[in-house]
Amino acid sequence: MRSRTGPIILAIALLAAVAACDANKTSSQQASSPSATQAATPHEEHQGGGAAQATTPKDLAAELQQYFAVHTLLAVRQTRSVVTANDSYREAADHELEEYTEELGKIVAGAYGAAQGDRFAQVWERTIADVSSYADAVAAKDDAARQKARVALLADADAYGSWLAGASDGRAKEGDAAAELRTHVQQLMDQADAYAGHDYDRAYRIERDAYEHMFAAGTSLARASEPKAAAALDAPVEKLRAAFAMLLGEHMQLIIDAQRATFAGAPEFKAAAAQVNANTDALTKGMGAIVGPKKAEEFQSAWAEHVEGLLDYSTAVAGNDEAEKAVVREKMRGYGARLALYLSDIVRNELPLEPITQALGEHDQHLVDQINAYAAKRFDEAQEMEVEGYGQMLGVANTLVGAIQRTVKPQLPVGGSQTGGGGTANWRR
């Protein structure tokens, strides 16, 4: 199974080059720098109820990318709670999936009409139920039930393809849409099987692939919504935004995996940490494609400290070490200040230092709060922090891309990335 991040890294430099040219045409329209905490995120509606209707194809794509990606991770974690018989976490995940499906149906209804939104919700609810049935069968080691659920999930993929082809008036091909969801349900089944078999390396690798796949599937659904949507979503700056949003949102979610895996023991933690490191490598290469290998090395060093601080904190939480928690939090503030200084510098102070520092502090706080809640078995609260933090991180990505678009001249690295692949997450218990 091939990660999407390779082509994305190569594309980032080319997209940034064109986006920077586009920015020169519109720079006179920029009244002021946006706050680094601004986020066009549907997750705010998730907190307060009722998803807002997207008014442009770009807004729709951003919403669907986020909802599809987070839905995938909720489904992954729900299946693992079934396998590990963690009923309390399963209840929290089930509740979150139910809310997500309702809100996702509203977003789809805003783009495709109320009737089509209802049809979509029916397909999605059935798919979620069949994923749960598959996990139940895996946990029970019931091969017959597992095969029955697998057949149902493949039928769900076909139903999605039929729905989207009709809802889009043929702009989306039925076979293509069905194949996209078939990949999704297969990944969910494969990671559940791997996790149940204690093949954590494979389980976490598939999880990351599944996240990236469904982020892209959100783009596909938005692209089919109207005749002019494809052109808007093919604009270089929009592709650049999506690439950074995917990678930074993925960082948030993989850190959550690694933090929670601290409580599961070394084998699972190492598997989760390997994907954190793969994401860091992808981000570093993406930055290198824009600012050059030397600056990318600086990014990797600052980002590694950021990651290590978060994982050191979760280790202290798992060890019930209040003194160490306080020490690590103080170190994390220093790491965040260094990273903010780096980001402000590469965009030539287009983003003021103070709001960037604040945004990174909020990011850290979301991750601290979620692992504290998770450790205390307040799983509903942990889920809310996860969702809120994910939306905030995508807001940071949007703002960063805007600043890159206005200020950075990309530098294509000669002979591939020269940043190295230094580790950023290690088992410390």
- Check the CA dihedral 50-55-57-62 and report its sign: negative
The 10 Å Cβ neighbour count of residue 353 is: 15
Distance, in Å, from the CA atom of 225 to the CA atom of 242, rounded to the nearest integer, reads: 18
* Least confident span in 210-214, 338-342, 397-401: 397-401
Please, are residues 284 and 303 in contact by the beta-carbon 8 Å criterion? yes
| pLDDT (0 to 100) of residue 214 | 97
Confidence of residue 425 (pLDDT cuts 50, 70, 90): low
| pLDDT (0 to 100) of residue 5 | 52
Nearest to 408 by CA among 316, 295, 331: 295
pLDDT, tens digit, 9 for 90 and up, residues 251-268: 999 999 999 999 998 999
DSSP output for 362-410:
HHHHHHHHHHHHHHTT-HHHHHHHHHHHHHHHHHHHHHHHHHHHHH---
pLDDT, tens digit, 9 for 90 and up, residues 60-114: 999 999 999 999 999 999 999 999 999 999 999 999 999 989 999 999 999 999 9
| pLDDT (0 to 100) of residue 43 | 46
Confidence of residue 11 (pLDDT cuts 50, 70, 90): very low
CB neighbour list of residue 246: distance below 8 Å, 6 or more residues apart: 8, 65, 69, 212, 215
Mean pLDDT in the chain? Answer: 85
pLDDT, tens digit, 9 for 90 and up, residues 154-208: 999 999 999 999 999 999 999 999 999 999 999 999 999 999 999 999 999 999 9
pLDDT, tens digit, 9 for 90 and up, residues 226-238: 988 888 888 888 8
Virtual torsion, Cα 344, 41, 335, 267, nearest 10 deg: -140
Please, are residues 135 and 194 in contact by the beta-carbon 8 Å criterion? no
Would the pLDDT of 144 be above 60? yes
* Least confident span in 207-211, 294-298, 319-323, 346-350: 346-350
Kind and range of the H or E run holding 126: helix 114-140
Would the pLDDT of 45 be above 80? no
Please, are residues 316 and 328 in contact by the beta-carbon 8 Å criterion? yes
Confidence of residue 316 (pLDDT cuts 50, 70, 90): very high
